[in-house]
Chain A
Amino acid sequence: GAVVSQHPSRVICKSGTSVKIECRSLDFQATTMFWYRQFPKKSLMLMATSNEGSKATYEQGVEKDKFLINHASLTLSTLTVTSAHPEDSSFYICSARLGAGSIDEQFFGPGTRLTVL
C-alpha cells in the first residue's frame, strides 16, 4: 500500500512552546489529509480534515487557533500545536487519502508521540 510518514516520531517540549508535526505522503499525491489524536488506551479521535490549498475543517470541540493545520502541497500537511500544555500530550496520527474513492484508499502515518512537560 501507499506510504505515509510523520516527523518527528517523538517530541518532548516545555509548556508554552509550539510544536510542528509533519505528515507526508511519500509515493502518492493526497488532496485530503486527516489529523487524529489518541490518548492512552483510547480510540482515535478525528481532529480535522486538511485540504490542499484551502483551510482545514475542524471537528467540533477542536480549537483551530490551538491546532494550526497547513496543507501546502499535495504531499505535505503540517500540524502545529501552539502554546502546548501538558494536557496536549498525546499520540497524533495523520492519514492521507489517495484520490477519490472508497474508504480503503486512506493510509495512516506511524504517529507522533508528543509529551509536554
Chain B
Amino acid sequence: LAKTTQPISMDSYEGQEVNITCSHNNIATNDYITWYQQFPSQGPRFIIQGYKTKVTNEVASLFIPADRKSSTLSLPRVSLSDTAVYYCLVGDDYKLSFGAGTTVTVRA
C-alpha cells in the first residue's frame, strides 16, 4: 500500500474553503485515492474517491494532478460541524491502511 503524508492539523473559520493536500509519491497504477472523515468516538465516513483529474460530489471536491503523486481534498464553505479528522487513503483493494490523518478545526 502506498504511503501517504498529510499535514497533522489545519485551522479554519466558518465559511472558508479548506484544502488538504495529501502526498502519495509511490502510488501505483491501479491505486485509487479515497478520503474519509472521522468525528470523535465515531467510525470513519466515506467522503470522496477518485483516480485522476477532478471529482466532485455534494460535500467535497478532489483534485488529482496528472502525475497522481498528490491529491487535494477541498471542503467548500466549512462550518463548525466540519471539525473532524480527515484521512487520505491510497490503494487498489479493500484492505484500508489509515495514516495519521489531518485534524481540521473550524472556528466561529
B43 touches A95 (CB 8 A): yes
A54 within 8 A of B: no
Q: Which residues of A have CB within 8 Å of B87?
A: 43
Q: Shortest beta-carbon distance, B17 to chain A, in Å?
A: 23
Contact, CB under 8 Å: A32 / B101: no
* Stretch in B44-52, B64-72, B75-83 with 4+ CB within 8 Å of A: B44-52
Contact at B44–A103, with CB atoms within 8 Å? Answer: no
Q: How many residues of B contact A (CB 8 A)?
A: 21
A residues less than 8 Å from B96 (CB atoms): 34, 46, 95, 103, 106
CA distance A91 to B89 in the complex (A): 20
Interface SS of chain B: loop
A-B CB pair tally, cutoff 8 Å: 56
- Chain B residues within an 8 Å CB radius of A91: 41
Contact (Cβ within 8 A) A103 B43: no
Q: Which of B43, B49, B93, B97 contacts A104 (CB 8 A)?
A: B49
The answer to whether A113 and B41 have CB atoms under 8 Å apart is yes
Is B100 located at the chain interface by the 8 A CB criterion?
A: yes
- Decide if A1 is an interface residue (CB 8 Å cutoff): yes
From residue B66, how far is it (CB to closest CB) to chain A in Å? 21
Contacts of A97 in B (CB 8 A): 94
- 1/0 per position for A92-112, CB-CB distance to B under 8 A? 011101000011111111110
